[in-house]
Amino acid sequence: MDELKEHKAAADINPDEYYPDDEPDVSLPERFRRRIFKMVSVGVVDDRINQLYDIISIGALLINLLVTILDTFDGMHERYALVFACAEAVTIAFFAVDYVLRLYTANCLYPYDKEIKSILKYIFSFTGIVDLLSFLPYYLPAFFPAGAAVFKMFRVARILRLFRINAYYDSLNVITDVLLRKKQQLLSSLFIILVLMVAASLCMYSIENRAQPEVFSNAFSGIWWAASTLLTVGYGDIYPVTALGKALGIFIAFLGVGIVAIPTGIISAGFVEQYSKFQSLDNTSEEDVNFIKIKISPKDKWAGRKISELDLPEATIIAVIQRGAQTIVPRGNIRIAANDVLILGAQSIKGERPVYLKEVTLNRRHKWNGQMIRDLDISRQTIIIMIKRGNMTLIPKGNLILMEGDKVIMYSHLKGRLSTADETEQEL
């Protein structure tokens, strides 16, 4: 539950982690809604329907942008006007349907809010506004013909949908992560630049107003000059003519070099930190986790209770639930049944046969990286019980593809080294 609350603030939760297909006690309409949510969520590629929807979504966006660009050429517009119009109408209709589906599944995106509140949250979020502007300006001229030119300008917002491709490429995610992590420093540097721009504009007005009143007519007429000078662009359309004004201009130009270097240095440092973190994943690490197992009898006070209701001792966790031949990842709403075998994180009890969990962190050169779980060559005495991917915990389904940085937690009765598949077979 705590992990869900952390994702509530971020809003973009992982559908596979929180809405598994085999979750019990879920009504059919809710299952259907969650299935649609997985389909419209970008980057969920565990199903062919999800992959197909992502391909159609990206394809529709690229076709729409290509048509918009080609339609600006006179020769292309005259020859293919009807084709362009049809392509735009179809892609815009897809954007409208996509928006309706996202409204329908908004409560899955914000699971801790009420239905209406979750819908409003999505509507007024950045992605929600971009999705709305992707199709609404196309239909508005039919109701408000006078504003057709203005509505056409807003269609440019659909290009922002390209940011959804971030879910597929780590390099784009690095840029986004750096900007988000360094936003406070970047805003501070932007504030300094704005203050210096206003100060430079006021100073230049005081010096140049008498010499060229038509250029520096008021205190804010020098903002354009200050911006182009501080940002080292220097267009030359507005410039000082007095000796004192030129001296001030030289000083502002030198100051601008240092000012531009501030946000550049902040972003560069952020990239170095981010890539250093990625390099630390190159080394495969293994850690032993000592656990014991207990069997729940029908008279046990834990039988029939939810995991969230158990009064567990401090520093004790339930890692795995074995129910017959089924291995269950424990969640707060799962009820413990009689004859369940619980794997507890605690010291071994005398006389109990210990069990072992291995945590293997995959680097980019690990032979499991990029493979499906069903294709792994591991011992039959070893079971993969969960995959930790960043802050997410994934259920180890057979078609789940392992990725660099994943922490694979495996369960076995025998202690052994699990660095590679061959070693697993040999030493277990």
CB 223 within 8 A of CB 202: no
Write the secondary structure of the chain as one string of H (helix), E (strand) and C (coil): CHHHHHHHHHCCCCHHHHCCCCCCCCCHHHHHHHHHHHHHCCCCCCCHHHHHHHHHHHHHHHHHHHHHHHCCCHHHHHHHHHHHHHHHHHHHHHHHHHHHHHHHCHHHHCCCCCHHHHHHHHHCCHHHHHHHHCCHHHHHHHCCHHHHHHHHHHHHHHHHHHHHHHHCCHHHHHHHHHHHHCHHHHHHHHHHHHHHHHHHHHHHHHHHCCCCCCCCCCCCCCHHHHHHHHCCCCCCCCCCCCHHHHHHHHHHHHHHHHHHHHHHHHHHHHHHHHHHHHHHHHCCCEEEEEEEEEECCCCCCCCCCEHHHCCCCCCCCEEEEEECCEEECCCCCCECCCCCEEEECCCCCCCCCCEEEEEEECCCCCCCCCCEHHHCCCCCCEEEEEEEECCEEECCCCCCECCCCCEEEEEECCCCCCCCHHHHHHHC
Question: What CA–CA distance (Å, rounded) separates 128 from 122?
Answer: 5
CB 332 within 8 A of CB 307: yes
CB 242 within 8 A of CB 204: no
- In this prediction, residue 355 carries a pLDDT of 57
The letter for the amino acid at 361 is T
In order along its 428 residues, the chain shows pLDDT tens digits of: 333 333 334 444 555 545 555 455 567 888 888 889 888 887 666 678 888 888 898 899 899 889 888 888 878 878 888 999 999 999 999 999 999 999 999 988 888 888 899 999 999 988 889 899 888 888 888 777 776 667 777 777 777 787 776 655 556 667 777 888 888 988 998 898 889 888 988 998 889 888 888 888 888 778 888 888 887 777 777 888 899 989 988 888 888 888 878 888 888 888 888 777 766 655 555 555 566 778 888 888 888 888 888 877 766 778 888 888 778 878 777 888 888 888 877 554 444 555 566 778 888 788 888 888 887 877 666 788 888 887 787 888 878 888 888 888 887 655 554 444 433 333 33
- In this prediction, residue 101 carries a pLDDT of 93
Question: In Å, what is the CA distance from 169 to each residue of 12, 87, 175?
Answer: 16, 28, 11
Question: In Å, what is the CA distance from 414 to each residue of 141, 188, 418, 427?
Answer: 71, 56, 11, 9
pLDDT in tens, 181-200: 888 988 998 898 889 888 98
CB 133 within 8 A of CB 123: no
Question: What CA–CA distance (Å, rounded) separates 87 from 64?
Answer: 7
Domain 183-281 is of which CATH architecture?
Answer: Orthogonal Bundle (1.10)
> What are the domain boundaries of the chain?
2-168, 183-281, 283-427
- Alpha carbon dihedral 119, 123, 126, 130, in 10-degree steps, equals 130
Question: What CA–CA distance (Å, rounded) separates 96 from 346?
Answer: 53
Tell me if the domain spanning 283-427 has CATH number 3.90.1640.10: no
- Strands in 318-323's sheet, in edge-to-edge order, are 326-328, 318-323, 341-344, 286-295, 355-361, 407-412, 382-389, 392-394
Q: Is there a shared CATH topology between the 183-281 domain and the 283-427 domain?
A: no
- Per the rule left: phi > 0, alpha: psi between -120 and 50, beta: everything else, 315 is left
